[in-house]
Chain A
Amino acid sequence: MKYFLSAAAVCLTAAVSLPAQAGQTFDAVKARGTVTCGVHTGLGGFGAPDAKGEWAGLDVDVCRAVAAAVFGDAKKVRYVPLSAQQRLTALQSGEIDLLSRNTTWTMSRDTASGLLFTAVNFYDGQGFLVNKKLGVKGAKDLNGATVCVQTGTTTELNLADFARANKIELKPVTIENFEEAANAFVSGRCDAMTSDGSQLAAIRANQTPNPDDYVILPERISKEPLATAVRQGDDQWFNIVKWTFQAMIEAEERGVTSANVDDMTKSSDPNVQRLLGVTAGMGKGLGVDDKWAYNIIKQVGNYGESFERNVGHGSKLKLDRGLNALWTRGGMMYAIPVR
């Protein structure tokens, strides 16, 4: 009995604290032949199935790009839709290989949760949407205004913090359901609506009678760097996911698109040659084919293309690039050199 108990204890310890060997996730991905990617259960523009049930969105494109880098085929992804509560555990337990699901990068998630964030693929932040008739120029002019907000989210807490910090009085109208909150705002029950900037833009473009009558105020009262995450313990896999996204920004910086990528392989620019694998050797460090970035750009596109298609003006969300523009155009997207 004693022997049995100690054996059980050993097994249990092994089960909960199994040290992840280097390359474990990557090896499993290669053996399986697909990337298992945790996505949103349905967030238009970021991760949602289209009318035919095929996944699409800015976050989904990261999954597809990783599959393109590893297998040369962006279709080799298995999507696991996750609720907000499940998402971190699903990554910790190994149910998914990477998490690309509208997740804010925070310190505690990076440290205590056993995750590693690879790169921010969308800079979001909480803001205010108002009717132009209200005549306010900034969020601090909202003193005394009623604000529609969804209950039980950090959005509500941020709103209270903002009001306290700026010594203004805001009257929150809390509504359980996000769609209902948006409808309440559009029908005039509140002076302003607060949520993440991307969501406000979506309401403005799709739910208002005339989008030009509405304006999103310039202030952002919270920072929401939405990022892709992997599990700790496999540095090689971390690198692959990190550089997959860097390649998408680098491609945009260098003007390489899915349409011209074949012509660009003849480019004399050494940066482009390295990116597209014309100069051999860049894939070796990642453990993937030299054509890794070529495959990403060919099949998924560069970051700008992905943005326009999913959330930009070519989509239903009609978001401006804003912070998500390249650094050369006043945004925050800055590719680390591929060399």
Chain B
Amino acid sequence: MTTEPTVGLLTVPWRWSRRHLFQSPGSSVLTLLAAWLLWKVLPSAVNWALVKAVWSGDPAACRASGGACWAFVTEKYRLILFGIYPYDEQWRPLTAIVVFVVMMLASAHPSCWRRWLIWMWAGGLVLVGILMWGGVPGLPYVSNDRWGGLPLTLILSATGIVLSFPLALLLALGRRSRLPAVRAASVAYIELWRGVPLVSVLFMASIMFPLFLPEGITVDKLLRAQAGIILFTAAYLAENVRGGLQAIARGQFEAADALGLSYWQKTRLIILPQALRLVIPPLVGQFITTFKDTSLVVIIGLYDLLSSTKMALSDPQWRAFYIEGYVVAALIYTVFTAAMSYYSQYLERRLDRDRRRS
């Protein structure tokens, strides 16, 4: 027997909180603990970040207020975002950021997963290259040792992800190959690169590698770092892809063989589409990791977003306000990584729906 409870003003929030916050004694304790923490932390954080904050002005004004000194960011935001890219040309890296965001959005929707996507990325990366380097009429040449900030982070991570992916597919397939030499080479590659931290890869690329070259011959610093990131990421991605390959039922392989498909046809049409769908969460996880790991290039003197923030802080007048600088850098990183992980959740839901329908 169910009696309809009287619906008062508080009934809905009451029910909602009963279900979500106080369902069991354990969750009640956690809720109260979280509320206590917020009560302790939030007022002073809001006070610091908003109420007492200084939005523009000089360091003396910041010191006087005792709040967050967003004036530092107002003053230095172009240095943080674009590093030492020539000041008057900074619309170019800004356009490059827009190009990247558009390409990422276009790649996001499954209805766009067509062959033209590959061409779009190829064309987009060339366009970014032209924008950043210049050297064509109307765009003065800018050497890549002046690139920095957010565009550099995006270039390193997007190029790293895009170029490591094909390599990862080959490695994953190679590791499951029936040919012993191919299998051994793939295993050796993957284990070698996974056995080394990215920091040491970058160190090797930037410090040891030049010593092996004849004097006077140097390979560009950015290129060395980019190559290191691609080769490193490929090893991790390959293992993710292999996980997907192993989850495919044997019947799928046999059915494909029975249809008389060649190895490459079978792989491209039957196996990979299913395998990749299974491993979307770890793939996105790896993409996020790669995006964040690019900040390690700080040790080889490249100005990614984090190091350009650090550089902006080298001004002795503003040096005391490092927290504000790092908070802003963290926010920018969070926007990108949060977008990636929400997208991954959306994609899983959508692909699940597809599967249920079939």
Which residues from A are CB-within-8-Å of B301?
41, 80-83, 86
Distance in angstroms from B76 CB to nearest chain A CB is 7
B216 and A41 form a contact (CB under 8 A): no
Complex alpha-carbon distance, A44 and B312, angstroms: 10
Distance in angstroms from A309 CB to nearest chain B CB is 14
Complex alpha-carbon distance, A144 and B3, angstroms: 76
Complex alpha-carbon distance, A309 and B282, angstroms: 53
Decide yes or no whether B210 CB sits under 8 A from chain A: yes
Which residues from A are CB-within-8-Å of B76?
51
Distance in angstroms from B12 CB to nearest chain A CB is 47
B314 and A93 form a contact (CB under 8 A): no
* Residue of B83, B208, B210, B319 touching A53 (CB-CB under 8 A): B83
Q: A81-B301, A83-B300 are in contact. Are A15 and B319 (CB under 8 A)?
A: no
A93 and B218 form a contact (CB under 8 A): yes
Complex alpha-carbon distance, A94 and B211, angstroms: 9
Decide yes or no whether B354 CB sits under 8 A from chain A: no
* Nearest A residue (CB) for B209: A93
A83 and B85 form a contact (CB under 8 A): no
Which of A18, A24, A41, A48 gathers the greatest number of chain B CB atoms within 10 Å? A41
A180 and B216 form a contact (CB under 8 A): no
A316 and B75 form a contact (CB under 8 A): no
Contact with A along B313-329 (1 / 0, CB 8 A): 11111011010000000
A43 and B314 form a contact (CB under 8 A): yes
Distance in angstroms from B79 CB to nearest chain A CB is 6
Which of B85, B210, B215 gathers the greatest number of chain A CB atoms within 10 Å? B215
Which residues from B are CB-within-8-Å of A51?
75-76, 78-79
Decide yes or no whether B207 CB sits under 8 A from chain A: yes
Q: Which of B183-214 contact A (CB under 8 A)?
A: 203, 206-208, 210-214
* Residue of B143, B206, B212, B300 touching A78 (CB-CB under 8 A): B143
Which residues from A are CB-within-8-Å of B203?
85
Complex alpha-carbon distance, A86 and B79, angstroms: 23
B213 and A202 form a contact (CB under 8 A): no
Decide yes or no whether A154 CB sits under 8 A from chain B: no
Complex alpha-carbon distance, A209 and B314, angstroms: 19
* Nearest B residue (CB) for A15: B214
A44 and B63 form a contact (CB under 8 A): no
A44 and B211 form a contact (CB under 8 A): no
A78 and B145 form a contact (CB under 8 A): yes
B320 and A53 form a contact (CB under 8 A): no
A24 and B320 form a contact (CB under 8 A): no
Q: A48-B315, A93-B218, A182-B320 are in contact. Are A80 and B207 (CB under 8 A)?
A: no
- By the criterion of a CB under 8 Å from any partner CB, how many residues of chain A are at the interface? 46
Complex alpha-carbon distance, A54 and B63, angstroms: 27
Decide yes or no whether A52 CB sits under 8 A from chain B: yes
B211 and A93 form a contact (CB under 8 A): yes
Q: Which of A81-95 contact B (CB under 8 A)?
A: 81-83, 85-86, 89-90, 92-95
Q: A51-B76, A202-B316 are in contact. Are A24 and B214 (CB under 8 A)?
A: no
Complex alpha-carbon distance, A82 and B208, angstroms: 15
Which residues from B are CB-within-8-Å of A54?
84, 87
Which of B203, B208, B221 gathers the greatest number of chain A CB atoms within 10 Å? B221
Decide yes or no whether B146 CB sits under 8 A from chain A: yes
* Nearest B residue (CB) for A93: B210
Which residues from B are CB-within-8-Å of A90?
210
Which residues from A are CB-within-8-Å of B307?
41
Which residues from B are CB-within-8-Å of A93?
210-211, 213, 215, 218
Which of B63, B320, B322 gathers the greatest number of chain A CB atoms within 10 Å? B320
* Residue of A44, A80, A81, A89 touching B319 (CB-CB under 8 A): A44
Complex alpha-carbon distance, A48 and B319, angstroms: 13
Decide yes or no whether B92 CB sits under 8 A from chain A: no
Q: How many A-B residue pairs have CB under 8 A?
A: 117
Complex alpha-carbon distance, A178 and B78, angstroms: 24
Decide yes or no whether A28 CB sits under 8 A from chain B: yes
Complex alpha-carbon distance, A48 and B217, angstroms: 27
Distance in angstroms from A71 CB to nearest chain B CB is 17
Contact with B along A278-293 (1 / 0, CB 8 A): 0000000000000000
Contact with B along A48-59 (1 / 0, CB 8 A): 110111110000
Complex alpha-carbon distance, A10 and B42, angstroms: 68
Q: A28-B216, A78-B143, A180-B322 are in contact. Are A86 and B300 (CB under 8 A)?
A: yes
Decide yes or no whether B232 CB sits under 8 A from chain A: no
Decide yes or no whether B163 CB sits under 8 A from chain A: no
Distance in angstroms from B323 CB to nearest chain A CB is 9
Distance in angstroms from B341 CB to nearest chain A CB is 29
Which residues from B are CB-within-8-Å of A20?
215
Which residues from B are CB-within-8-Å of A24?
215-216
* Residue of A28, A78, A82, A179 touching B320 (CB-CB under 8 A): A179
Which residues from B are CB-within-8-Å of A45?
316
B212 and A15 form a contact (CB under 8 A): yes
Distance in angstroms from B149 CB to nearest chain A CB is 10
A14 and B216 form a contact (CB under 8 A): no
Decide yes or no whether B298 CB sits under 8 A from chain A: yes
Decide yes or no whether A112 CB sits under 8 A from chain B: no
Complex alpha-carbon distance, A42 and B319, angstroms: 11
**What are 7 pairs between A and B in contact, CB < 8 Å?**
A42-B311, A52-B87, A53-B86, A85-B207, A86-B300, A92-B211, A94-B217
Which positions in B face A, CB cutoff 8 Å? 59, 63, 75-76, 78-79, 82-87, 143, 145-146, 203, 206-208, 210-218, 221, 298-301, 303, 307, 310-311, 313-317, 319-320, 322
Which positions in A face B, CB cutoff 8 Å? 14-16, 18, 20, 24, 28, 41-45, 48-49, 51-55, 78-83, 85-86, 89-90, 92-95, 177, 179-180, 182-183, 186, 202, 205-207, 209, 316-317
- A-B interface, 7 closest residue pairs, ranked by CB to CB distance from nearest: A42-B314, A93-B210, A53-B84, A42-B311, A52-B87, A44-B316, A202-B316
